[in-house]
Amino acid sequence: MNVAILGFGTVGVGVYDILSPRSDINVKYVLDIVKHEGLTAVSTTDFNDIVNDESVDTVVEVIGGLHPAYEFISSALKSGKNVITANKMLVSSYYEELTALANANGVALRYTAAVGGGIPWLVNLERAARCAKICEVSGIMNGTSNYILDAMHTDKADFSECLKTAQDLGYAERDPSADIDGIDTLCKVVLSANIAFSTVINKDDVDVAGIRYIKDCDIAACEGMNRVCKLLGVAYDRKDYVSIFVEPTFVSEKALEASIHTNLNLITFEAEHVGRESFYGFGAGRYPTAYTVVEDCIDVAGGVKKAYNNVMNSSVIKNSDTVHKYYVRTDYNNDWFASISKENYANGFITEEVSVKDMHSFCNEALAAGKECFIAGIREL
Ligand SMILES: NC(=O)c1ccc[n+]([C@@H]2O[C@H](COP(=O)([O-])OP(=O)(O)OC[C@H]3O[C@@H](n4cnc5c(N)ncnc54)[C@H](OP(=O)(O)O)[C@@H]3O)[C@@H](O)[C@H]2O)c1
């Protein structure tokens, strides 16, 4: 199988390194912004070289971002080439279109590395969904935010200090918004739910709260409850609708999630027959991520010629019936918040069970008004 790697950065170099010694998969092209010397592949800056070469079976997209990755992937699929990508932002944004394009052209669209990096999560989720109804996918899907929260618990350091260390170690981007605002987790939980529930979820319908506004007093409050704070992506298939959200969560210190340290990930599904199965490992990093991309290449070389989903039912997204208690620290109030029953706790409140929808609406309203607001679900997992 002849492969072209698009993007020669962190993951692209890893894919090249792992594939180069193999005799079954040949890296024919490497496309990047600039040409590279000394490669065994043809170095190009022009995607037309690749798409017009009929001997290229498979395109590996590891550029990232929406454009030109979208144009490259669409064009490759239309030309009958398999596509393997690690791009969670792109696939979760153009899910229905790209899946339909792959299926119409009888080629593969695989993106296992897009969720969980080095963890073989999506591929096992797909296998599970073949013979068991999956009712939940959830977990710690973003290594950067887990690193920051873990450091806040362990070192008793404040958020900005832990974020800076994460940046210095290369775990967080210079612009960390996607990680700390929950956007990266959003893309991953949407892709997981799409595969688990055979559906297509619009990211705009998902309630998302990140960890940008967490303070050390929130971690102290969490520890006072014998809990650990984790950023979770959560999706439930409730038969008539899907409930899906991203939020900081105070989990019991006995929960599996509580023992996930540094930048590691833990992702779980719950399915009939098998119960809960959790997958643990490196959610990012050059070689863990490249390893998963190469596993996709081997699957495609072995005959996998389809997108993850064949069936894409539309789902009603509803978070108004999913209820639990929340820890809330805010200087904002409105009629709804005044009306719910809550007790003072540390620098904030612990509410009665309220819906995810209502609590996220309140938090968004507070932040839009320029007020402080940090929320965390209090849940048994
Ligand atoms: N890094 C991880 O651990 C990890 C884990 C899971 C998933 N992913 C996903 O994998 C993808 C790649 O991530 P990465 O960390 O490898 O990114 P990266 O280090 O920034 O590499 C991207 C490469 O693509 C090049 N590039 C940018 N625009 C291009 C264009 N128009 N044409 C050709 N090449 C272009 C970049 O060149 P310049 O550097 O000159 O801009 C760079 O060499 C992303 O979708 C990311 O979400 C990454």
* Residue 294 located in a structural domain: yes
Cβ of 192 closer than 6 Å to ligand 1, yes or no, is no
Question: Which range marks the domain in which residue 17 is found?
Answer: 2-110+287-311
Same domain? 231 vs 219: yes
Phi, psi (deg, nearest 5) at residue 83: -125, 130
Same domain? 153 vs 91: no
Ligand 1 center from residue 220 Cα (angstroms): 37
Same domain? 57 vs 156: no
Q: Which pLDDT score is estimated for 381? A: 86
Per-chain mean pLDDT for the chain:
97
Task: Give the CATH number for residue 333.
Answer: 3.30.360.10
* Residue 158 located in a structural domain: yes
Same domain? 214 vs 358: yes
Same domain? 148 vs 68: no
Task: Give the CATH number for residue 13.
Answer: 3.40.50.720
Q: Please write the tens of the pLDDT for every residue from 154-163.
A: 999 999 999 9
* Residue 89 located in a structural domain: yes
* Residue 126 located in a structural domain: no
From 29, 43, 289, 296, give the residue whose CB has the most ligand 1 atoms within 8 Å, as the site to mutate.
289
Nearest C-alpha to atom 8 of ligand 1 is from which residue?
Answer: 86
* Residue 147 located in a structural domain: yes
Same domain? 201 vs 186: yes
For the annotated catalytic residues, the residue numbers are 188
Cβ of 170 closer than 6 Å to ligand 1, yes or no, is no
Cβ of 60 closer than 6 Å to ligand 1, yes or no, is no
Q: Which pLDDT score is estimated for 36? A: 98
Give the span between the Cα atoms of 268 and 273, in whole angstroms. 15
pTM of the model as a whole: 0.98
More confident residue, 83 or 172: 83
Same domain? 307 vs 371: no
Q: Which pLDDT score is estimated for 310? A: 80
Ligand 1 center from residue 325 Cα (angstroms): 40
Same domain? 278 vs 298: no
Beta carbons within 8 Å of 325's beta carbon, 6+ residues apart: 350, 351, 352, 353, 354, 377, 378
* Residue 271 located in a structural domain: yes
Angle between helices 10-19 and 286-301 (to 10 degrees): 50
Same domain? 90 vs 137: no
Same domain? 306 vs 235: no
* Residue 369 located in a structural domain: yes
Q: Which pLDDT score is estimated for 30? A: 98
How remote is the C-alpha of 151 from its chain's centroid?
Answer: 21
Same domain? 325 vs 192: yes
When divided into structural domains, the chain yields a total of: 2
Q: How confident is residue 107, by pLDDT bands cut at 50, 70 and 90?
A: very high
275 burial level (CB within 10 Å; 0-12, 13-18, 19+): exposed
Average pLDDT over residues 298-311: 93
Q: Please write the tens of the pLDDT for every residue from 222-240.
A: 999 999 999 999 999 999 9
Same domain? 279 vs 291: no
* Residue 236 located in a structural domain: yes
Asked if residue 309 has pLDDT above 90, the reply is: no
Give the DSSP letter string of 179-226: HHTTHHHHHHHHHHHHHHHTEE--GGGSEE--STT--HHHHHHHHHTT
Cβ of 85 closer than 6 Å to ligand 1, yes or no, is no
Q: How confident is residue 95, by pLDDT bands cut at 50, 70 and 90?
A: very high
Q: Which pLDDT score is estimated for 244? A: 98
Asked if residue 180 has pLDDT above 90, the reply is: yes
Average pLDDT over residues 173-192: 96
Q: Which pLDDT score is estimated for 174? A: 87
